[in-house]
Structure 1
Amino acid sequence: MPQMMPLNWLILFSFFSFIMILFNMINYYHTHNKFYPLPPFKMIIKSTSWKW
């Protein structure tokens, strides 16, 4: 996106934090699943979980 060069770091940081918040919410609701159990998706989340 060349038209957004002054805000490039801000957009990347906001997208990264938003994706990490979504990933943490999905990971939390699938490790404490009492609503909708989805075993393949839970296995994918557990196998690709971040170590930090």
Structure 2
Amino acid sequence: MAKSKNHTAHNQSYKAHKNGIKKPKRHRQTSTKGHNKTSGEAGSAAEE
């Protein structure tokens, strides 16, 4: 009996490049512009 195929990378590179191989988006630090730092649960607990 013939041995069965264990692995092949055929067509995988084509499929990956079909939509383009993209680098992961790097979020260094989100901007806090327009955010009220005193709002939220932590702020309301401090007021009491």
**Taking structure 2 as the reference length, what is the TM-score of the superposition?**
0.29
The answer to which structure has the higher helix fraction is 1
Instruction: Look at both structures and tell me which one has the larger radius of gyration over its CA atoms.
Output: 2
TM-score (norm 1): 0.28
